[in-house]
């Protein structure tokens, strides 16, 4: 790269022009809804949540744009590095991690705390996209070529599962499987795996230790948990349902503000939104997410490289899983797994990870017509 | 390049499938949202209100109790207590240490407070100490800036201004026990007090009132955010008693000179109980504040049983006071004033000797002289003639051996034996000797001081079945008691004889007479044996009361009425193990009747003065 400063500056301006600003606007809109909800959750105060969330979002926005402006070929060539780094952090949690609420998920970095499992979801996408991009399409049909990506998925899944965080482990398995699917892995192979799991469950189950069995059962039926997840879900449904069609009004949600609703600033923020803004607010938020995801999918379809397609689609799938699992959970359709609502729930790591993921999507968009060889060389 | 195109094509197809799947799942979320927020909205709205709206009961103030002239006997006083709120106090230990300097340090239990504070929510006030004095309250107020999180709460607690004087009549209030719980929700309030004895128990429903309530919004931790609606309750009704507090005070003072005694005065016409004292008493105020273990143990161990109301619950052999009932039974059965019996100190029945209290005998006796001088031999004779069942029948008419359907709480029935009773309960045949023993109010016969007062009242009020009562009924609502059907002549004879007991120079209670003819009293003494006197003791003259242990001494009894000319009041006095009735009980009864009549005339004079001056 032999560009002078001036021409580099011109190129940067040109690239910024290329960024899909509608997507950025959507992201900003969702984050702003998040700020409003955090302001309400603190009973009309910016501290402790909203102001911090705004600062993190500002940082994340810059990071997102920076990632987006980096040449997609750079990301292709170095796709395994972020993966390796985040995996190392995950392993670090195992060794030095801080536990919160019974599970070790946090890495204490003095100034702030990081939850590496949030990042892994997106670096995994990067690594898988890289791998499938390089793979000859005919080779996808050969099972031995699927061993490496399976391994890429299995490593973080096993580490996360040990924290224990069965929810995130399943999340990554689902996301990974979806990427396998869009990469073109034959359907019958999924059928075989599904069949194998069905056969394996009754065999493996008795081999699990008591505490492992307990962990799985708690995941499936939270009422067993002494931590009162059953109470949380009931309170969430009461708050949601009592919101009715038009809601109780901003900052007027009685259940949320009288503390009947647990974790209203994190996992159950959608409940508070739906209590205060009713069915219209809830459906409106779902609509915004749908638009965001549609943009992601459109960008993926429009990309000329397989890497770009898989990357954009993979990130979209991960974000979809976040949204779907979180909202289904607070409405009592899925077990309570402790997953934030992306861009809205309080939490710095998830915010940064999601924005980083969209940075990759923007990069795909900006470089949509770039021809990329199998090893990232200009094609 | 062909492969590349295929790859893109496969991707597009599958991405479309994924997108479709995502759309379907989002639709599912939307549907669920609609179900919860529209279809089920009402149900969740109700649940939400149940969550946040709490109904709190407001305890009604308990009704006051007064004597017949409106003097307060039971009231509610403001009870100041110090409370501490953990979340406002900061350093709990330091605040408690400062409190300990201001109050007596051992007056509260710091360890208990810290324990409570740990177990309750941070905003719940913990009671440090109750019943603060004014002095303590002002000391705390002055030092308030140094005592963060310390507050003074005001509650109502029951107060009995006359303390032990009224203890047995009024009873007391105490915390609600499991057995007391009814469907009245107010009973579940922490700190609520319920009547446990006496008037407080008997009229609890009236005194208690109705609880109010307050709807408050609470948060998930139970902290009250605001009051939504409030409905004030209905305070308990005021209750006036028939008692005369002044007379009660007089009687109490007179009785405390004895170790254990009971006395009662009632109106012979309408049954109003003017005074009812059981001695020793106890301080009912200790119960409203929550009695200490130590005080409770002391009360329970006291051999003179201060907790029981002996007027209603003490069952004593009535001794010679029972002769009133025997005499009336005999007169009804045909014995006349002309019937004479020669008393030589004893009679013999089979191989047993029945003694008269007077060793040398009374000589020739008729029914009036026998009552006047309390000749036992005369009564053996007439009792054997009429039989025990006739005596029992008259006793019942006079109100012995039964509990009255009245507002006196905790009465005991006493016992009036009959042949049938003995067959049924003891399982053997009635003996003639037992009739003789019953004739002088010994043996199986038991009665309470209240019953003896009722017997006396019925004997002198013209034979009306008066029933005693404690709740005052104003004006027109006077009860209409039925006649007992005893001949006026018989009643006249017995009343005259009772007059002679006090006012005849040979009467057994002559020393207790009242000289003023307008206030003169009549009555009957009684001395009832607690233990049978053995032949050896009699021979050695060891049954002299002065030489016996207190527990073995005779009970001293006196029943009486005043004034003799137009009876108003009936009295009964029992001094447990007090020796002779004429020596110990009669002077008390006489003083009580004198005081009752003196208070009446004093009041009458006051009224006249008030009327004439206005």
Residue B535, pLDDT > 60, answer no
Q: What is the pLDDT of residues B365-400, one digit of tens each?
A: 999 999 999 999 999 999 999 999 999 999 999 999
Residue B536, pLDDT > 60, answer no
CA within 13 Å, CB half, B608: 6
Closest to B337 (Cα-Cα) out of B380, B378, B394: B378
Q: Across the interface, do B7 and A278 touch by the CB < 8 Å criterion? A: no
Whether A293 is in a domain gets the answer: yes
Which residues have CB under 8 Å from B395's CB, separation 6+?
B322, B325, B329, B401, B416, B455
Q: Across the interface, do A313 and B217 touch by the CB < 8 Å criterion? A: no
- The residue whose two tokens read 């009735």 is B581
Question: Are B515 and B541 spatial neighbours (Cβ–Cβ below 8 Å)?
Answer: no
This model's pTM is above 0.80: no
Chain A interface mutation, best of B17, B21, B22, B23, highest count of A Cβ atoms under 10 Å: B22
Q: What is the pLDDT of residues B62-72, one digit of tens each?
A: 999 999 999 99
Q: What is the pLDDT of residues B240-251, one digit of tens each?
A: 999 999 999 999
Burial (0-12, 13-18, 19+ Cβ within 10 Å), A304: middle
Instruction: Read off the pLDDT of each residue in B133-162 and give the average, rounded to a whole number.
Output: 85
pLDDT band at B95 (very low <50, low <70, confident <90, very high): confident
Tell me the sheet residues that pair with B574: B262, B557
Q: What is the pLDDT of residues B434-470, one digit of tens each?
A: 999 999 999 999 999 999 999 999 999 999 999 999 9
- The total number of structural domains in chain A stands at 1
Residue A379, pLDDT > 90, answer no
Query: Worst-scoring range by mean pLDDT, A77-86, B134-143, B146-155, B280-289?
Result: B146-155
Residue A289 with chain B: CB contacts under 8 Å: 26
Closest to B209 (Cα-Cα) out of B156, B252, B150: B156
Whether chain A has a CB inside 8 Å of the CB on B38: the answer is yes
Chain A interface mutation, best of B1, B2, B7, highest count of A Cβ atoms under 10 Å: B7
Which one is catalytic: B260, B278, B320, B374? B320
Instruction: Read off the pLDDT of each residue in A87-104 and give the average, rounded to a whole number.
Output: 76
Alpha helices in B340-448 (DSSP H): 367-373, 376-386, 388-397, 419-421, 432-439
Question: Which CATH number among 3.40.980.10, 3.30.70.980, 3.30.420.40, 3.90.1310.10 corresponds to the domain B56-240?
Answer: 3.90.1310.10
Burial (0-12, 13-18, 19+ Cβ within 10 Å), A110: exposed
Question: Are A160 and A176 spatial neighbours (Cβ–Cβ below 8 Å)?
Answer: no
Average confidence score pLDDT of chain A: 88
Contacts 24+ apart (CB under 8 A), B147-150: B147/B95, B147/B98, B147/B99, B148/B88, B148/B89, B148/B90, B148/B95, B149/B84, B149/B85, B149/B86, B149/B87, B149/B88, B149/B89, B149/B90, B149/B95, B150/B82, B150/B83, B150/B84, B150/B85, B150/B89, B150/B95, B150/B99
Instruction: State the smallest CA–CA distance between residue A183 and chain B in angstroms.
Output: 6
Tell me the sheet residues that pair with B614: none
Instruction: Read off the pLDDT of each residue in B535-560 and give the average, rounded to a whole number.
Output: 74
| DSSP three-state, residue B533 | coil
Domain interval for residue A74? 21-185+221-366
**Terminal CA-CA length for chain A:** 16
Q: Across the interface, do A328 and B32 touch by the CB < 8 Å criterion? A: yes
Q: What share of chain A is helix, strand, coil (3-state, %, to 5)?
A: 70, 5, 25
Instruction: Read off the pLDDT of each residue in B147-152 and give the average, rounded to a whole number.
Output: 82
Instruction: Read off the pLDDT of each residue in A76-94 and give the average, rounded to a whole number.
Output: 92
Residue A225, pLDDT > 60, answer no
**In this predicted structure, what is the pLDDT of residue B475?**
66
Query: Worst-scoring range by mean pLDDT, A77-81, A199-203, B280-284?
Result: A199-203
pLDDT band at A228 (very low <50, low <70, confident <90, very high): low
- Which two tokens mark B377? 């031999």
Which residues have CB under 8 Å from A198's CB, separation 6+?
none
Closest to A269 (Cα-Cα) out of A58, A39, A104: A39
Q: Quote the crossing angle between the two packed helices A187-204 and A166-183, to the nearest 10°.
A: 150
**In this predicted structure, what is the pLDDT of residue A3?**
45
Express as a percent the part of chain B with pLDDT over 90: 57
Instruction: State the smallest CA–CA distance between residue B47 and chain A in angstroms.
Output: 7
Instruction: Read off the pLDDT of each residue in B126-152 and give the average, rounded to a whole number.
Output: 83
pLDDT band at A99 (very low <50, low <70, confident <90, very high): low
Whether A240 is in a domain gets the answer: yes
Q: What is the 3-state secondary structure (H, E, C) of A252-280?
A: CCHHHHCCCCCCCCCCCHHHHHHHHHHHH
**In this predicted structure, what is the pLDDT of residue B589?**
96
Instruction: Read off the pLDDT of each residue in B571-600 and give the average, rounded to a whole number.
Output: 93
- The residue whose two tokens read 């003494």 is B525
Query: Cα–Cα distances in Å, from B318 out to B250, B414, B481?
Result: 25, 10, 25
Whether A100 is in a domain gets the answer: yes
Which residues have CB under 8 Å from B432's CB, separation 6+?
B349, B350, B384
B66 — phi, psi (to 5°)? Answer: -125, 165
Whether chain A has a CB inside 8 Å of the CB on B604: the answer is no
Q: Across the interface, do A324 and B26 touch by the CB < 8 Å criterion? A: yes
pLDDT band at B576 (very low <50, low <70, confident <90, very high): very high
Instruction: Read off the pLDDT of each residue in B533-541 and give the average, rounded to a whole number.
Output: 58
Q: What is the pLDDT of residues B320-357, one digit of tens each?
A: 999 999 999 999 999 999 999 999 999 998 889 999 99
**In this predicted structure, what is the pLDDT of residue A1?**
42
Note the Cα B464 to chain centre separation in Å: 27
Closest to B199 (Cα-Cα) out of B257, B247, B239, B154: B239
Residue B423, pLDDT > 90, answer yes
Question: Are B582 and B319 spatial neighbours (Cβ–Cβ below 8 Å)?
Answer: no
Q: Across the interface, do A309 and B45 touch by the CB < 8 Å criterion? A: no
Whether chain A has a CB inside 8 Å of the CB on B40: the answer is yes
Which range has the top average pLDDT, A37-41, A249-253, B126-130? A37-41
Provide the pairing of β-strand B522-528 with B555-562: antiparallel
Q: Which of residues 549-578 of B touch A (CB under 8 A)?
A: none
Average confidence score pLDDT of chain B: 88
Q: What is the pLDDT of residues B25-65, one digit of tens each?
A: 999 999 999 999 999 999 998 888 888 887 777 888 899 99
Query: Cα–Cα distances in Å, from B261 out to A214, B310, B576?
Result: 73, 8, 6
Question: Are B405 and B454 spatial neighbours (Cβ–Cβ below 8 Å)?
Answer: no
**In this predicted structure, what is the pLDDT of residue B512?**
93
User: ω into residue B213 within 30 of 0, thus cis?
Assistant: no
Interface predicted TM-score of the whole assembly (ipTM), two decimals: 0.93
Residue A237 with chain B: CB contacts under 8 Å: 36, 44
- The residue whose two tokens read 């919160």 is A100
Parse chain B into domains and list their residue ranges. Answer: 56-240, 245-283+297-330+346-606
Chain B interface mutation, best of A176, A237, A242, highest count of B Cβ atoms under 10 Å: A242
Closest to B453 (Cα-Cα) out of B273, B313, B307: B273
- The residue whose two tokens read 């003072």 is B253
Whether A32 is in a domain gets the answer: yes
Residue A286 with chain B: CB contacts under 8 Å: 26, 29-30, 33
Question: Are B215 and B55 spatial neighbours (Cβ–Cβ below 8 Å)?
Answer: yes
Q: Across the interface, do B19 and A282 touch by the CB < 8 Å criterion? A: no
Secondary element (H or E) of residue B460: helix B449-460
Whether chain A has a CB inside 8 Å of the CB on B41: the answer is yes
**In this predicted structure, what is the pLDDT of residue B340?**
95
**In this predicted structure, what is the pLDDT of residue B547?**
65
Residue A331 with chain B: CB contacts under 8 Å: 29, 32-33, 36
DSSP assignment of A44-111: S-STTTHHHHHHHHHHHHHHHHHHHHS-HHHHHHTTHHHHHHHHHHHHHHHHHPEEETTEEEEEEETT
Whole-number Å distance between alpha carbons of B196 and B469: 19
Q: Nearest by CB to A244, which of B11, B37, B52?
A: B37
Q: What is the CATH number of domain B245-283+297-330+346-606?
A: 3.40.710.10
Whether A197 is in a domain gets the answer: no
- Which two tokens mark B193? 């007090």
Whole-number Å distance between alpha carbons of A120 and A139: 26
Whether chain A has a CB inside 8 Å of the CB on B224: the answer is no
**In this predicted structure, what is the pLDDT of residue A2?**
44
Whether A71 is in a domain gets the answer: yes
Question: Are B331 and B537 spatial neighbours (Cβ–Cβ below 8 Å)?
Answer: no
- The residue whose two tokens read 């003074």 is B152
Whole-number Å distance between alpha carbons of B430 and B422: 6
Chain B interface mutation, best of A139, A258, A277, A325, highest count of B Cβ atoms under 10 Å: A258
- Radius of gyration of the CA atoms of chain A, in A: 21
Q: What share of chain B is helix, strand, coil (3-state, %, to 5)?
A: 45, 20, 35
Whole-number Å distance between alpha carbons of B316 and B530: 9
Burial (0-12, 13-18, 19+ Cβ within 10 Å), B422: middle
Q: Across the interface, do B44 and A317 touch by the CB < 8 Å criterion? A: no
Closest to A130 (Cα-Cα) out of A298, A300, A310, A301: A310
Known active-site residue B279 = no
Tell me the sheet residues that pair with A104: A99
Residue A336, pLDDT > 60, answer yes
* Closest residue on chain B to A295 (Cα): B19
Whether A262 is in a domain gets the answer: yes
Whole-number Å distance between alpha carbons of B24 and B33: 14
Q: Which of residues 189-218 of B touch A (CB under 8 A)?
A: 217-218
**In this predicted structure, what is the pLDDT of residue A226?**
47
């Amino acid at each position: 790269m032999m560009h002078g400063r001036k021409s580099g500056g011109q190129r940067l301006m040109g690239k910024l022009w290329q960024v899909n600003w509608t997507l950025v606007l959507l992201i900003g809109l969702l984050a702003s809804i998040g700020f409003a909800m955090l302001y309400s959750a603190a009973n009309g105060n910016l501290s402790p949540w909203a102001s911090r969330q705004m600062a993190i979002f500002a940082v994340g926005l810059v990071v997102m744009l920076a990632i987006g402006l980096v040449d997609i070929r750079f990301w292709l060539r170095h796709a395994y590095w972020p993966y390796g780094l985040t995996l190392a952090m995950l392993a670090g949690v195992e060794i030095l991690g801080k536990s919160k609420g019974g599970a070790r998920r946090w890495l204490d970095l003095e100034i702030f705390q990081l939850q590496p499992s949030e990042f892994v979801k997106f670096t995994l996408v990067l690594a898988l996209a890289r791998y499938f991009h390089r793979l000859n399409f005919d080779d996808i049909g050969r099972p031995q070529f699927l061993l490496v990506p399976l391994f890429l998925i299995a490593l973080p899944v096993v580490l996360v599962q040990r924290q224990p965080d069965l929810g995130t482990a399943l999340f990554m398995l689902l996301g990974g499987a979806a990427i396998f699917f869009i990469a073109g892995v034959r359907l019958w192979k999924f059928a075989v795996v599904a069949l194998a799991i069905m056969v394996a469950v009754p065999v493996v189950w008795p081999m699990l230790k008591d505490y492992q069995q307990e962990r799985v059962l708690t995941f499936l039926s939270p009422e067993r948990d002494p931590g009162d997840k059953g109470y949380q879900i009931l309170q969430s449904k009461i708050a949601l349902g009592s919101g009715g069609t038009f809601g109780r009004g901003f900052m007027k949600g009685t259940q949320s503000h009288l503390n009947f609703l647990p974790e209203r600033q994190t996992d159950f923020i959608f409940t508070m939104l739906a209590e205060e803004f009713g069915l219209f607010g809830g459906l409106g938020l779902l609509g915004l997410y749908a638009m965001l995801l549609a943009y992601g999918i459109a960008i993926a379809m429009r990309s000329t490289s397989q890497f770009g397609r898989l990357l954009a689609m993979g990130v979209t799938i991960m974000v979809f899983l976040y949204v779907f699992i979180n909202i289904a959970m607070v409405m009592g359709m899925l077990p309570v797994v402790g997953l934030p609502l992306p861009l809205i729930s309080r939490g710095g790591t998830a915010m940064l990870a999601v924005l980083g993921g969209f940075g990759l999507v923007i990069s795909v968009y900006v470089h949509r017509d770039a021809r990329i060889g199998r090893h990232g060389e200009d094609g | 390049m062909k492969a590349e195109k295929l790859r893109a094509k496969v991707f597009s197809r599958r991405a479309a499938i994924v997108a479709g799947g995502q759309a379907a799942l989002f639709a599912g979320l939307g549907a669920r949202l609609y179900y919860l927020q529209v279809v089920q909205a009402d149900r969740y709205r109700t649940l939400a209100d149940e969550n946040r709206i709490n109904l709190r009961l407001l305890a009604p103030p308990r009704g006051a109790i007064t004597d017949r002239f409106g003097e307060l006997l039971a009231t509610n006083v403001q009870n100041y207590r110090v409370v501490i709120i953990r979340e406002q106090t900061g350093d709990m230990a330091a605040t408690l240490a400062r409190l300990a300097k201001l109050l007596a340090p051992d007056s509260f239990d710091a360890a208990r407070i810290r324990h409570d504070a740990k177990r309750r929510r941070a905003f719940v006030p913990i009671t440090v100490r109750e019943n603060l004095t004014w002095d303590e309250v002002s000391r705390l107020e002055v030092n308030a800036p140094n005592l963060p999180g310390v507050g003074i709460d005001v509650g109502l607690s029951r107060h009995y201004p006359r303390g032990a004087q009224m203890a047995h009549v009024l009873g007391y209030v105490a915390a609600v026990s499991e057995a007391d719980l009814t469907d009245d929700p107010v009973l579940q309030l922490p700190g609520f007090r319920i009547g446990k004895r006496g008037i407080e128990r008997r009229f609890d429903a009236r005194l208690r009132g109705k609880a109010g309530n307050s709807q408050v919004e609470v948060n998930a931790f139970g902290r009250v955010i605001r009051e939504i609606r409030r409905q004030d309750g209905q305070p308990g009704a005021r209750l006036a008693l028939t008692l005369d507090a002044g007379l009660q005070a007089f009687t109490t003072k007179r009785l405390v000179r004895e170790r254990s005694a009971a006395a009662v005065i009632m109106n012979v016409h309408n049954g109003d109980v003017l005074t009812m004292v059981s001695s020793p008493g106890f301080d009912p105020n200790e119960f409203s504040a929550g009695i200490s273990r130590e005080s409770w143990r002391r009360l329970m161990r006291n051999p003179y049983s201060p907790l029981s109301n002996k007027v209603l619950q003490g069952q004593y052999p009535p001794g010679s006071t029972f002769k009133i009932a025997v005499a009336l039974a005999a007169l009804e059965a045909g014995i006349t004033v002309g019937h004479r019996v020669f008393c030589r100190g004893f009679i013999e029945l089979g191989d047993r000797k029945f003694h008269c209290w007077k060793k040398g005998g009374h000589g020739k006796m008729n029914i009036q002289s026998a009552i006047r001088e309390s000749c036992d031999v005369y009564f053996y004779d007439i009792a054997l003639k009429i039989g025990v069942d006739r005596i029992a029948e008259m006793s019942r008419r006079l109100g012995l051996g039964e509990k009255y359907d009245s507002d006196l709480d905790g009465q005991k029935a006493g016992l009036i034996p009959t042949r049938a009773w003995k067959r049924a309960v003891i399982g053997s045949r009635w003996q003639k000797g037992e009739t003789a023993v019953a004739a002088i109010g010994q043996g199986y016969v038991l009665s309470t001081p209240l019953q003896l007062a009722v017997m006396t009242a019925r004997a002198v009020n013209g034979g009306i079945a008066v029933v005693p009562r404690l709740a005052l009924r104003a004006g027109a609502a006077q009860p209409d008691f039925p006649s007992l059907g005893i001949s006026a002549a018989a009643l006249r004879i017995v009343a005259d004889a009772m007059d002679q007991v006090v006012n005849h120079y040979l009467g057994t209670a002559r020393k207790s007479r009242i000289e003023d003819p307008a206030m003169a009293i009549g009555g009957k003494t009684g001395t009832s044996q607690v233990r049978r006197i053995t032949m050896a003791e009699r021979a050695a003259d060891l049954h002299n009361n002065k030489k016996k242990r207190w527990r073995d001494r005779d009970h001293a009894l006196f029943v009486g009425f005043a004034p003799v000319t137009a009876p108003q009041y009936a009295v009964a006095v029992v001094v447990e193990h007090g020796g002779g009735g004429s020596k110990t009980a009669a002077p008390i009864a006489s003083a009580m009747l004198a005081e009752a009549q003196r208070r009446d005339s004093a009041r009458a004079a006051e009224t006249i003065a008030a009327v004439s001056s206005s």
